[in-house]
């Protein structure tokens, strides 16, 4: 039976408290929302969730990568191919982007399951990430958060079988962005919540349960999308669920509404607490709705080392102020300076792809030392390139050897921290440090690598690896 | 068979512009100022010069990163079809221009040549140096790595290795900057001419932690020039000429910061260049034998580490042997950067190496611009010039002395 073989999730480190938004715009609001760093986007968050999901898995067995998001960083140019490279997947795979609908994650899930069931793929990696930009001082601003989830879909060693699914497609328009819009537009709230969300969820769940001759109370846990907490409660009521025992809370107070990633992240949270035999009801919404029944197997015990929602929620830094948020999201005009702009070369990036995207270093077969970036001659024993063998380094842990904090570099979030990190296996990486709490950096602290957007020189997103203090 | 360069070539004239933010002068003004002073000092005319080595990283085209050819100098000075070779080794360019001129004389290709270093940095419109390298060489690797950011990593590493608390480490570096400003204030041609206290240094705004404003040199305009001939001809021009005792030049393999065994607390290219120069000049104990050193102190930590890597004190003993004893003052055991150094005299990239030699030349001739800066009886001095960043330096060590 096909289903979820592994799962992972990602919550960015920075959180914006709703109290700060209250101070800026008036009004109250409890809890906080996760927002991605200025060097993160849906591609980098998808990579993070993918890394979490692939822990202990054989990357060579991944025959397809599906990326789902309503906020793909490129309009033309696939995101999935960049995610696949950063995850160091094989080249002879199918990669595809799913987008435009909040439901793109579960639509991609269907495509993944179909591929596995038909035998065209052994395992499909499905990564779902979203970082929707709400208008300042809008109802969506306190609500929207950023995050990602990932599932390895396959037919053997499944931790949760997907027993059945039901899909409903609708031309209903509630929230949209036109081709050049950065910010969402929406129709009247009562219409989009009552006639849109509640009506479609009710129809999809009822049709699904009826066909299976089941009821809401038959499920151990329900994990489904909602635009906000109130609408979520309304559907809990429609399904007749016990809010105390049966409902996986959709992270509104801690992460926010992560759009296409919300239902998938809520499902990861449900799986984190699941036992063999548990039945999970999954639901998603957007341009229709869908419903799924999952059965947790005894393999769930093998998933304990995932960071998932739980660990990533705990590791956080509160954003100091709203101004920082505005600059992170490029919502403010900034002063023009005569400083030179960064440049890039896609030609060079292409030549360097194995280390820029895949984080491969060189291992010298003569002296045994590993080095980054790859070399023409071993930097330790000068052996020729033919003795240098590519090795992946992205997953190696390390410690901070030395660093500096440059206040004057033209980065979005100064100081720019330069770091020398000694990774496992005696390999040194020189890189920028991200996701850091500047007051809590010390030589010797545990570090790890993370895939980030370095700059947007010449109007293209230029990605590479940075280091960050370990988030476990 | 290669021969030693020792004492084969003499410097018979030198010039140096006023260093600073030269809003009044463009690059042509400064080339002319330095060249004219050098010619006058040597008692020669420009038309007597047979070849020129021009050192500049960018010239005046910093932001655009434009290529500077030798015509920058020929068109300014209206030299008539003589060779002008442009050399470049980033901040270590100046030593390279002198070295090219010296070896051409030793090869007897010419009889009278000029070395000139120049940089016009302050036409850019912003403070600091531009990060022109972002995307120039590597689109994303090392992006946003600036000079201060890269040197500051060495300070962090030095503090950690020798168990200095941040406060103690910062104070040690502050004492170096206090000395640099002390001498800059006494030097009429220097860029930064104000004395500072340890407290001022410690309380200054942060540039690249742990380096604050006064740990960093300014961005400076300036030019310097030297007229050289073979030593046998030197007497034709002056009696108090100085001779080149040695050149040590080393380009590091360049992957220090990426090597697990590099700890950022020493400059390997400096050690290599110093060893070569000391061997050529016959120097066994530099601290004893050198009367003065002008070393590459673009940052306070750079002076500390260069002092150790030039073997002016023992490794890890800078505090005890240089700072605590005030050995690096002009009346101390090992005077260092009595000009004010790059830190206070200023650092117009391509001009610095030649300017350092200018200071040694003037000190040997007992012509320090301000008498209170004059070091007693200088016979042998060293100029240390490097380009790049910790782990990836090209370094030139020039030893000059009385014949």
Give tens-digit pLDDT for A146-176: 999 999 999 999 999 999 999 999 999 999 9
Residues A98, A156 within the same domain: yes
Residue A461 lies in a domain: yes
Residues A203, A294 within the same domain: yes
Domain count along chain B: 1
Residue A264 lies in a domain: yes
Residues A176, A89 within the same domain: yes
Q: Tell me the chain A residues in contact with residue B149 when contact means C-beta distances shorter than 8 Å.
A: 404, 406, 409, 416, 418
State the pLDDT at residue A375.
Answer: 97
Residues A317, A433 within the same domain: no
Residues A172, A138 within the same domain: yes
Cα B168 to Cα B318: distance, rounded to the nearest angstrom: 13
Choose among A2, A22, A294: nearest CA to A156: A2
Residue A256 lies in a domain: yes
How far is the alpha carbon of A111 from chain B, nearest alpha carbon, in Å?
Answer: 35
Give the ipTM of the model, two decimals please: 0.95
State the pLDDT at residue B21.
Answer: 97
Using CB atoms, pick whichever of A339, A369, A430 lies closest to residue B257: A430
Residues A299, A352 within the same domain: no
Residue A380 lies in a domain: no
Q: Residue A391 pLDDT > 70, yes or no?
A: yes
Residue B117 lies in a domain: yes
Maximum Cα–Cα distance for chain B, whole Å?
59
Both tokens of residue A252?
């509104």
**B169 membership: H or E segment, kind and range:** helix B166-185
Residues A293, A398 within the same domain: no
Name the residue range of residue A450's domain.
346-359+394-469
Residues A17, A68 within the same domain: yes
Using CB atoms, pick whichever of A337, A428, A432 lies closest to residue B258: A428
Grade residue A65 by pLDDT with cuts at 50, 70 and 90: very high
Interchain proximity B139–A405, CB inside 8 Å: no
Site from A357, A358, A418, A461 to mutate, B interface, most B CB atoms within 10 angstroms? A418
CATH number for position A409: 2.40.50
Q: Tell me the chain A residues in contact with residue B206 when contact means C-beta distances shorter than 8 Å.
A: 405, 407, 415
Residues A295, A198 within the same domain: yes
Residues A86, A190 within the same domain: yes
CATH number for position A96: 3.40.47.10
Using CB atoms, pick whichever of A343, A401, A403 lies closest to residue B134: A343
**B288 CB neighbour count, 10 Å cutoff:** 10
State the pLDDT at residue B64.
Answer: 56
Residue B20 lies in a domain: yes
- The count of CB pairs under 8 A between chains A and B is 156
B91 as an active site residue: the answer is: yes
B121 as an active site residue: the answer is: no
Residues paired with A389 in a beta bridge: A363
Residue A364 lies in a domain: no
Residue A377 lies in a domain: no
Choose among B186, B220, B219, B180: nearest CA to B200: B180
Tell me what the mean pLDDT of segment A7-13 comes to: 98
Residues A301, A353 within the same domain: no
Residue B28 lies in a domain: yes
State the pLDDT at residue B369.
Answer: 85
Domain count along chain A: 2
Q: Residue A177 pLDDT > 70, yes or no?
A: yes
State the pLDDT at residue B348.
Answer: 95
Residue B249 lies in a domain: no
Cα B264 to Cα A348: distance, rounded to the nearest angstrom: 29
Q: Tell me the chain B residues in contact with residue A428 when contact means C-beta distances shorter than 8 Å.
A: 257-260, 262
State the pLDDT at residue B270.
Answer: 98
Residue B383 lies in a domain: no
State the pLDDT at residue B65.
Answer: 56
Marked catalytic residue, from B91, B121, B313, B354: B91
Marked catalytic residue, from B181, B296, B330, B347: B347
In Å, what is the CA distance from B179 to each residue of B198, B208, B265, B316, B364?
Answer: 10, 21, 22, 20, 21
Name the residue range of residue B22's domain.
9-123+219-229
Residues A158, A196 within the same domain: yes
Residues A370/A364, Cβ–Cβ less than 8 Å: yes
Interchain proximity B208–A407, CB inside 8 Å: yes
CATH number for position B110: 3.40.47.10
Residue B100 lies in a domain: yes
State the pLDDT at residue B134.
Answer: 65
pLDDT digit of tens for each residue in chain B (403 aa)? 999 999 999 999 999 999 999 999 999 999 999 999 999 999 999 999 999 999 998 776 655 555 578 999 999 999 999 999 999 998 999 999 999 999 999 999 999 999 999 999 898 888 877 665 666 678 899 888 899 999 999 999 999 999 999 999 999 999 999 999 999 999 999 999 999 999 999 999 999 999 999 999 989 999 999 999 999 999 999 999 999 999 999 999 999 999 999 999 999 999 999 999 999 999 999 999 999 999 999 999 999 999 999 999 999 999 999 999 999 999 999 999 999 999 999 999 999 999 999 999 999 999 998 899 999 999 999 999 999 999 999 999 999 999 9
Interchain proximity B150–A418, CB inside 8 Å: yes
How far is the alpha carbon of A185 from chain B, nearest alpha carbon, in Å?
Answer: 35
Residue A108 lies in a domain: yes
The strand order across the sheet containing A14-17 reads: A32-35, A14-17, A317-318
């Amino acid at each position: 039976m096909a289903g979820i073989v592994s799962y992972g999730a990602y919550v960015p480190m920075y959180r914006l408290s709703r109290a700060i938004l209250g101070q800026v715009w008036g009004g109250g609001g409890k809890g906080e929302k996760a927002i991605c760093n200025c060097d993160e986007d849906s591609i980098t968050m998808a990579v993070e969730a993918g890394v979490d999901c692939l822990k202990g898995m054989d990357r060579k067995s991944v025959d397809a990568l599906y990326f789902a998001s309503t906020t793909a960083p490129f309009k033309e140019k696939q995101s999935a191919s960049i995610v696949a490279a950063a995850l160091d997947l094989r080249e002879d795979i199918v990669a595809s982007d799913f987008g435009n609908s909040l439901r793109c994650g579960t639509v991609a899930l269907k495509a993944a399951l179909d591929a596995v069931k038909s035998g065209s793929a052994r395992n499909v990696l499905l990564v779902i990430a979203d970082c929707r930009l709400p208008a300042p001082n809008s109802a969506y601003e306190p609500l929207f958060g950023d995050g990602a989830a990932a599932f390895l879909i396959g037919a053997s060693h499944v931790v949760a079988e997907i027993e059945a699914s039901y899909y409903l497609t609708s031309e209903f328009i509630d929230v949209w962005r036109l081709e050049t819009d950065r910010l969402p537009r929406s129709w009247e709230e009562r219409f989009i919540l009552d006639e849109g969300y509640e009506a479609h969820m009710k129809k999809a769940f009822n049709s699904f349960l009826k066909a299976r001759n089941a009821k809401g109370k038959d499920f151990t846990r329900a994990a489904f999308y909602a635009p906000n907490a109130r609408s979520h409660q309304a559907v809990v009521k429609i399904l007749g669920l016990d809010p105390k025992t049966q409902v996986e809370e959709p992270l509104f107070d801690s992460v926010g509404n992560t759009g296409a990633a919300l239902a998938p992240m809520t499902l990861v949270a449900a799986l984190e607490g699941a036992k063999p035999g548990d039945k999970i009801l999954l639901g998603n919404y957007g341009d229709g709705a869908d419903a799924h029944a999952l059965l947790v197997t005894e393999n769930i015990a093998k998933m304990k080392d995932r960071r998932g929602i739980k660990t990533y929620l705990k590791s956080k830094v509160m954003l100091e102020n709203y101004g920082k948020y505005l600059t992170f999201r490029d919502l403010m005009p900034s002063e023009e300076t005569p400083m030179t702009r960064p440049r890039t070369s896609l030609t060079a990036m292409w030549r360097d792809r194995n280390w820029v995207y895949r984080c491969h270093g060189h291992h010298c077969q003569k002296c045994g030392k590993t080095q980054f970036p790859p070399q023409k001659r071993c930097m330790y024993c000068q052996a020729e390139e033919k003795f240098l063998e590519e090795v992946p380094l992205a997953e190696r842990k390390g410690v901070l050897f030395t660093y500096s904090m440059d206040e004057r570099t033209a980065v979005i979030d100064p100081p720019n921290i330069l770091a020398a990190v000694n990774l496992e296996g005696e390999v040194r990486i020189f890189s920028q440090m991200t996701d850091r709490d500047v007051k809590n950096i010390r030589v010797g602290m545990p570090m790890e690598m993370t895939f980030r957007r370095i700059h947007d020189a010449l109007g293209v997103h230029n990605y590479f690896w940075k280091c960050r203090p370990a988030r476990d | 068979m290669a021969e030693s360069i020792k004492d084969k070539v003499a410097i018979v004239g030198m010039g140096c512009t006023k260093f600073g933010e030269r809003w009044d002068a463009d690059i042509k003004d400064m080339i002319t100022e330095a060249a004219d002073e050098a010619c006058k000092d040597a008692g020669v005319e420009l038309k007597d010069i047979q070849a020129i080595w021009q050192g500049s990283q960018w010239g005046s085209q910093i932001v655009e990163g434009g290529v500077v050819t030798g015509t920058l100098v020929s068109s300014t000075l209206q030299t008539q079809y003589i060779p002008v070779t442009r050399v470049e080794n980033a901040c270590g360019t100046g030593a390279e221009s002198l070295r090219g001129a010296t070896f051409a004389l030793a090869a007897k290709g010419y009889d009278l040549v000029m070395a000139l270093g120049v940089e016009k940095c302050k036409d850019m419109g912003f403070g600091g140096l531009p990060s022109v390298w972002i995307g120039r060489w590597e689109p994303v690797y090392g992006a946003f790595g600036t000079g201060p950011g890269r040197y500051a990593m060495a300070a962090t590493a030095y503090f950690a290795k020798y168990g200095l608390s941040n406060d103690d480490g910062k104070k040690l570096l502050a004492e170096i900057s206090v000395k640099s400003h002390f001498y800059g204030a006494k030097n009429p041609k220097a860029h930064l001419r104000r004395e500072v206290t340890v407290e001022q240094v410690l309380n200054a705004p942060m540039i690249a932690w742990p380096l604050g404003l006064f740990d960093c040199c300014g961005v400076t305009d300036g030019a310097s020039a030297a007229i050289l001939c073979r030593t046998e001809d030197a007497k034709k021009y002056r009696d108090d000429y100085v001779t080149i005792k040695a050149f040590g030049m080393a380009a590091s393999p360049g992957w220090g910061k990426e090597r697990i065994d590099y700890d950022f607390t020493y400059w390997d290219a400096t050690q290599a260049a110093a060893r070569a120069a000391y061997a050529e000049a016959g120097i066994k104990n530099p601290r004893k034998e050198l009367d003065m050193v002008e070393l590459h102190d673009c940052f306070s930590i750079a002076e500390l580490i260069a002092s150790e890597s030039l073997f002016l004190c023992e490794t890890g003993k800078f505090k005890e042997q240089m700072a605590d004893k005030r050995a690096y003052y002009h009346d101390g055991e090992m005077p260092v950067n009595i000009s004010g150094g790059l830190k206070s005299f200023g650092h117009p990239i391509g001009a610095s190496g030649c300017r350092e030699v200018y200071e040694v030349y003037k000190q040997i001739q007992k012509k320090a611009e301000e008498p209170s800066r004059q070091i007693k009886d200088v016979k042998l001095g060293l100029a240390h010039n490097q380009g790049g960043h910790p782990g990836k330096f090209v370094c030139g060590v020039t030893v000059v002395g009385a014949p």
